[in-house]
Chain A
């Protein structure tokens, strides 16, 4: 699976948008970009995923570059509860015979400050 590169940490002001970058320059055509976050002492929480189009849900937006070599997770209005480690993961598209695994990197520690 393709590896991802994320900054180790980011600070963000409460109420502002948080833009989290991720590089995945070796991504293949059959690999999705997934984002999870892990708040202290909890299991990872699914945020969003995409293949090549931009995606938006109630939690965040995912912007994937046209060449798919990088992506940005956008938290539109960060709150103190968004403080967490955010993981960008490339996952192979599954088939009926095999499942794409989630292999976690180091992630980005995001701290939202008042």
Chain B
């Protein structure tokens, strides 16, 4: 399976600031997904990131709050904008080689907003 690296692994941020999370994969992948895991909860899909096109957001998530870039087949970023304490979560990147391959996950970015 692909090796997925997320940076930073954790961060503590001030309310009102923005944080960009990077996801780097060691091989080309077709699709990348971004998830959020709030404390004590399961994972929630934020958006699907295609290379060369706009990300597709799930209900309840908007581009202004969570802009995503996907400049090539091995890299994506998720920005958490204008943060509030409610954004404190683990943010995870997931990748898949093709439409019927299992998805694999990075170890996430643990974000705390004060």
- Chain A residues within 8 Å of B, Cβ to Cβ: 34, 41-46, 49, 87, 93-96, 98-107
Contacts and interface: CB of A to CB of B under 8 A. Distances in A.
Interface of B: 1, 4, 31, 33, 35, 42-45, 48, 92, 94, 96, 98-100, 102-108
Contacts of A45: 105
Contacts of B94: 43, 102
A43 B33 contact: no
B107 A106 contact: no
A95 B31 CA distance: 12
Given A43-B94, A46-B103, A102-B103, 7 more contacts: A43-B107, A93-B99, A100-B100, A101-B48, A102-B45, A102-B94, A104-B35
Interface of B is mostly: strand
Nearest to A100: B99
A44 B99 contact: no
Nearest to A93: B100
B67 to A, nearest CB: 20
A65 to B, nearest CB: 22
B108 A102 contact: no
B45 A101 contact: yes
A101 B106 contact: no
Contact of B105 (A34, A41, A44, A99): A44
